[in-house]
Structure formats: C-alpha cells, structure tokens
Structure 1
C-alpha cells in the first residue's frame, strides 16, 4: 500500500541488526525485568521518524509506537496577497479573508491574528484564516499575524495595512456673510479622486428649480438678493459627488443637502396662499 509505513529492524532482543548502517544507537535492558531500551546518541533530523517496539507475552503480541522528531522553530511567516509595502486593498461592506501561513516547526507553533491589540483569531496549524466585513473605519488600520513558539526568543510577525475604498459620505455646511451665502460640499471618500456635479436647487417639497455650477472644490457661492427679494434663494441645495465606487444599493453618485431659508415666507408659500385666495373668491 502506498501510505504504509516502512520500518527497518534495529534489533532483535538486545542484538543489533548486523546489516544496520546507523551507528549512533545502543540497545540495552534486562529481559528478566522485562526492559529493553533504544538509545540514540547525538540525535539529529536524520533520526526523525516512527519507532516501534514489539514484545511478546503469553497469548498476545504487544506493539508500541513512538513519533520522534527533532524540535525546530517555525519559519517563513507570510501574509498571503500582501503587497511589497504590506498593503492589502479592499472595499467597504465586502467580506475579506486574510490568510497567514508559516512553516510551523516542531512542536507546532500557535498562529494569532491581532487587530488593535485584540486577538481576533488563533490556531495551531500551518495557516490561519481571519474573515471579516470591511467598513470605512478599517481604512489605514493595521492587522498583525504572529507565530508563537517556546523555541523562539520573540514571536515571528508580519503587519499589513488596509486600504479601503468606499463611496462618498456627503455633508453640506454653509458660511453666511452680508453679501453672500457659501455652501461647502464635504465628501468623506476613498479613493479621494472624485467628481463634483452641478448643484441642484429645489423647493421645500423637492420640486426642481434649477441646476447651478459650483467650484471645482465643491463650493457654491450664492449672492444675497436685493431688498424685497430675500426669499428667491430659499430652498434645498443638493450636492452630488462620485468616485466610481457604488454603495450597497448600487448607486455610484451620492448626495448631501442643506436647506436655506430666509426670514419670512418663501415665494412658493406665498404663491400657494395667493392661489388659495383666488380660488376661494370664485
């Protein structure tokens, strides 16, 4: 059978096999006391393997096997798919699997994944997989894989850094002066190569009024109206941004908005009141 263990006879009783080429062994014991010992001097990796002792008792054959291997520390710890700069790229809300491998050594090393000094996964095989769902807060976070062994003065380790792509999270702020109102479109986004589209001006009930070209930096400057026309700039101002990364709904363009409302009634409200008065007059 291909997986059958092949054993070489070292001795029969206390008599060493004369055809044996291994010279760093000794057999000793006392049959009267039922003892027989194998001694291996200057043990090395050449002596690694399975050793079997067979002895007879009235009516039975007894077999004992020993797995004997040289102690060796783990080596060659590697995080799979890490770039030369130890960066791994991912996308928000997508599940990521980080795999750490090591030549485990004897006895087997313990592999540990740590994130922000917290252990998130551990195991004692030659590889360890850590799976989790990415968020934008993972961007530039570091994650480290360690291999611990009593044969090491300090653990093996490798650290990777996450580069997470995510769609814009858009907010709109405003600055008001005596002459104008400046709206600022602020995008939390990665990668930070993104596009501002024209602003949309809408009424209170989302009725479209116009589109306005802003600056390349996402600002919209609105000059204040003359006296008596203070309300003509009132309404909702929506900023649209895209970096080509879609959100969970598949949209690549994300919006943020701000409401501008001067004192008094808006033109839209006044128009509705006038219409209501005319209609009731009939």
Structure 2
C-alpha cells in the first residue's frame, strides 16, 4: 500500500503523461560500531537523469518508518526523543544516508532504506548493524575444601559484552571447565566459565589462567588466578636443645591459617607462647601440640628425655671405673701370656 501510494504520488509529481516502471532493487551492507559512537548508515538512491522523491528508513520487521524525508513535507521522525540522535546526514533528497549518534544496544538490527526514485521506481538498501560492546572481565578463586571430587576452584566472568566473549583456560592441573551465557534485557551477554579440579593440599597456591577473547575488539585478555584450597593443619614440632633446656616450636601448615594452639604433656607452671615453649631439665615424657582451623585439627608429638645431673655423674664414674678395670684385665692377660711364652721357650731349649 505504501509503495503504491508513493508511485501514484510520483506520477502526480512528474505529470500525468509520465509512466513509472517499479523495480525492487536490493543492496545489502554489513556495519559494526561501538556503543556510544556515531555510525553512518549509507543509502544512495539517485543517479544520472533520476529524481529522488521519497526516503523511508525502517528497522527489522517494522512496517512503519522511524524516519522519512518527503520532497514536499520534509523530514518526519516518528520518535521525537530520537530527533537529535537519529538524523539525515543532509536534509536533502540528494542524500538518503542517516547518522545514528550515541549508539545504544537497542540500535542493533537490520535496517532498510526504501527509496522512490523517478523514473526508475522503488529501490532498497539493506544493512545489518552490530553494536559492539567490550565486556568487563574479572577472575576470582573459589575456595574449595581438599577432597576427591571435582569441584569449581576458579571463576572467570566476561560481563555485558556484545558479541559474547570466548573463554578458555591454561593450567598444568588435570581439570575441566564449563561455560554458560546469560543474555540481559539490554542485549548484551555475560559469559561465565568455571574451572573444576579435584583439589588437594598441593593444589593450594597454584595458578591457572583464564583467557578472554573479546570479540568486539578482537583482543585477548589473560587473567591469572591463584587457587585457594582449604585443608586442616599439618603439624610439625621443631626441637632446639640449649640454654639448660629444650625449645619446642609448633609449626602448622593450613588454609585457612590455624587459629588455636594447645600444648599437652608439659610440666605444671611451664609458660607457652602459643606456638613455642621452653622446657627446662628435669622432665621426661611426651609433649604434643594440637592446632585447629575451620576445616579440622592436626597434632604432632615429640619425646623428651632429660638425665639427672647426679645420675649422669654416677654413670660417668661407672664408665671410668669400667674402663680402668678393663685396662687392668688386659695388663694381667698380657703378663700371663708373656710368662707362658717365656716358659715355653725355656722348655723348648732344654729339650733340644
């Protein structure tokens, strides 16, 4: 109906004796531009010996135009709010191109420029406009308890991009990942990828890299994540003898760090400094250090044996006496052997 009315209008404009042959010529164009920028939607409908009578721009499957130009009535913008943002490049029938300013995601779509040209007839130029939006990227560890099951340990998010970003992972661990997409009401897409592995204590502190491919800018963004694997304390007691006693230090490797320390088996009155203790002489027995965090507990035990000074002195005297007796016995044995050898020689001489 719109086309027929404009053909009739063209006939009136050109005179009753003029005949118009309507030809539906279509040209397709692909355009891309970043959100917030300005883009030109080109449309050239006039050539030599032709006159442009009417211009109408439509978007997607809309039947009515959002902006038009008539050779008598001039410009008509169906949305007054966009009258300054969507304009003809030249308010003239010599140029059908329009400018879209301050691009928004809602501007993305298929555009059709419909022309009535005398004497050629109708002409269409179709173009697909993609509004590019660079996403906001982030990568964070997901604290996970050490275990045998495969669980998410890292998250990578590429939020509110268009077209959607691609995500891959670089890691020395034997893990897998899953990626999902969520399209928002404004047309952008958030891509979320979870890296999964069966976490162990040795996995804690290791690094994995999330690689985001931004389709809009055709660039690659690597994001490195240090993993946080939760495990109960692994405890070791370190002993250092000296200064008339023994120093004990309780070392606990844990994530999160051990919060409580307690010592067992110490003599009464011995003061502790949470992770360390000094034990003087006069004690024999086992000493244990117990620690805990939110994941579990851990402990280690060490045996301490002190000798009484008097007992040590007596043992020393006993050792000296034993050595002296041993030496005396050796002297006696040597003397007996010498005497026997001498008698044997004399006896042998008298016999010869």
Q: What is the TM-score normalised by the length of structure 2?
A: 0.41
Q: What is the TM-score normalised by the length of structure 1?
A: 0.49
